[in-house]
Structure 1
């Protein structure tokens, strides 16, 4: 995509921080709410000027119409609102028009309210009370050859055009223009999954904030062995997120694996020395989500590190991360990448479960999936292509017996956020390679 300036926009891979005991990450500076709003609007302006032209030309579309209603935002419009607009107002119609010959893509809003100066107002209700007829006039004036609307049977992210909006729009359009409308299932996904240069500059700090919160929770600042329960730690994480004026897109999970105990212990189970702790944790700030899973070990009296069997299990999960990342190929399906990674891992004696997914505006974001925890075979949700300039949660698990636990099989779950530039996958802010130790 030469017009996107892809080569110039590639961001150097961050240093591969090794997280764990002896490497507890410090908190990055957390911007104020006002600073975050400024950053959101600047990032959105950048995306509208770079991502939108790229994906429209990639799809051969010269007009893209996106429609939403108040409190029923479709996924694309929800990410195109300025930082001070929390929802669409009444009915919001956005129009993108590419006049061709390398000229800028025109951005219009056919609605009663402005859009933070990012879209030019294109409807005067005093002159034309009917919003759909105003849209039809815009279309007729510009004479687009191919008009895309978001419609998909496969992905909720691309299925934003409701039946009522479809019927009303088509009733207003002239017959010739109506014939040019195509139900597109790719533009929305491309908008949502594509990361801009500015987002890639901000994302490591955001991921680092999530990692720092996890590390503090996996310490004696939050855990008193013999007293603190799994549920206590879950709510410690929620309180910490709120104290930092951040958001989360899911309730954190904290689980305990213990010698002699079957499965994952949660809820009112009290954390004890000798336990392996697991957390699944995510935050959202500046509209970017994180998704992280880390492990901790609660030291027994006299211990200075986790048992060798646990450390070997974490090393196996780290190796599975490397295998999965090396299996990425631009343009291949998530299913193909899953199969390649599983074959390579099994050949090395690893017992793998891979369930990696895109991340960005949503935690489980738009794009092709690479496996599911409950399905390690090909899946329709993994049939789409994996594209460059996308961000990923490399989520997986290696199972391994722990000699110190009498050969009991433990699950070593890991999840870290990463960037795929089309050639290789790199961590956004490092990964965990050693247990956090709770004393």
Structure 2
């Protein structure tokens, strides 16, 4: 989602440690593959099928992601506490498909006994949590939930007890003050002294994508692409009649029809010869307009975030003017400068500086403002630039890790001869996967335009 909108990117993590993670499969799309024009809609699963898929993913994630994160960070216990309808962002992603919210209070405990033994997973809660966490509280024996938590901690005698509390990122700030106070009040002073605040566990869990997720992510992105392609076509747009807001609300209706959700209000606007910037709201779409949309969906617990361009053919035109095509391709070259600059262990700021230097050396006018995507639209992980800050930023100090998904969001500005040399900004946003070596687009990338063809 564009940072030109009113939605602000949540502060992201600035950290140093790079937890080891299991290898993830690459999505099927090859590097820089062009998107299919007007793709068919993929089949959307039933709610029961979705639950089965998501619970399968959760089991694999709990079995393969948590242990490497804890061991890399030298933590042998991780405690997460959430209250109903006020969930820790991490706990929200650890609930099984039938547990949509924490029940009253949900306490999750991960404990590493060492010696290569499996991580112990406990739920200190009145209600169970499927088969993913072992129930560890009987209220009839110990009515006080926090006293029971303190007993569990004391019995296992961990060296470091990690909690999610951070001033840097909302994704690692799920331990509220009251829950912290109640937890620590039940603990001995010695155990309290072992509590550590770490960002790496929460962010590492949220940003890591597993092979099974990446096998299905392409169809999630394809679903979003199919909606955009239909929206930016003569099926929806009648030049001289349809407004940009009409297209926005068509997209909202389509989302409901497809039984998925969106995580932000879609944006649709036009860039027009002789007009400054983007025209939206009740602007009537005309022939010769360049269309822009910013659109995302949430499906199977994963998010998409896409910005595409379209063009409304004038009478007698069969293709987009050459100047607009050149601007679109300039954008692709900025994309290449960025995706070729990803390095595991480098900060977002370092990647930004490297990518901008490559693009500027080619005579391009880039603006780069990319972010992770996955469980959230503006997701946990490194920030690579902001539309209003192309220099180093504290939010860009978090270091890149492998097996992470990204929204490659940026723009290039170029003069369009057919529009009298008018400077036009060509924005784009495509979802991609970084396997630790290369960045691949999950369902290809746009290099042309969606065409609105005149109806006969």
- Is TM (by shorter chain) over 0.5? yes
How big is the shift at 1:19? 2.6
Q: 2:279 aligns with which of 250, 262, 265?
A: 265
Distance 2:113 2:206 in 1: 23
Closer, same or farther: CA 395–3 of 1 in aligned 2, 3 Å: closer
The answer to whether structure 1 residue 14 and structure 2 residue 51 are counterparts is no
RMSD: 1.3
Q: 1:88 aligns with which of 96, 102, 120?
A: 102
| Residues 186-241 of structure 1: per-residue CA shift (max 9 Å, x gap) | 21001101111111111111011111110111111111111100000000001001
- Partner in structure 1 of residue 361 of structure 2: 347
Distance 2:313 2:72 in 1: 55
Q: 2:268 aligns with which of 233, 254, 257?
A: 254
Distance 2:260 2:431 in 1: 18
Give secondary structure in 1 for the equivalent of 2:395. helix
Give secondary structure in 2 for the equivalent of 1:200. helix
The answer to whether structure 1 residue 214 and structure 2 residue 228 are counterparts is yes
Give secondary structure in 2 for the equivalent of 1:310. helix
- Partner in structure 2 of residue 47 of structure 1: 61
Distance 2:21 2:324 in 1: 46
How big is the shift at 1:141? 1.0
Closer, same or farther: CA 11–156 of 1 in aligned 2, 3 Å: same
- Partner in structure 1 of residue 9 of structure 2: none
The answer to whether structure 1 residue 127 and structure 2 residue 141 are counterparts is yes
Give secondary structure in 1 for the equivalent of 2:191. helix
Q: 1:299 aligns with which of 313, 316, 328?
A: 313
TM-score between the two structures when normalised by the length of structure 2 = 0.93
The answer to whether structure 1 residue 333 and structure 2 residue 329 are counterparts is no
Distance 2:242 2:154 in 1: 66
Give secondary structure in 2 for the equivalent of 1:293. strand
- Partner in structure 2 of residue 153 of structure 1: 167
How big is the shift at 1:12? 5.7
Distance 2:186 2:27 in 1: 49
Partners of 1:355 and 1:371 within 8 A in 2:
yes
Partners of 1:19 and 1:434 within 8 A in 2:
no
How big is the shift at 1:168? 1.1
Mark the runs of 5 or more structure 2 residues left unpaired by the alignment: 1-17
- Partner in structure 2 of residue 64 of structure 1: 78
Partners of 2:69 and 2:201 within 8 A in 1:
yes
Q: 1:195 aligns with which of 198, 209, 230?
A: 209
- Partner in structure 1 of residue 114 of structure 2: 100
The answer to whether structure 1 residue 179 and structure 2 residue 193 are counterparts is yes
How big is the shift at 1:176? 2.1
Matches within 5 A, 1:228-247: 228-247=242-261
How big is the shift at 1:175? 2.2
The answer to whether structure 1 residue 286 and structure 2 residue 323 are counterparts is no
Bigger relative contact order (CA 8 A; separation at least 6): 2
Partners of 2:27 and 2:433 within 8 A in 1:
no
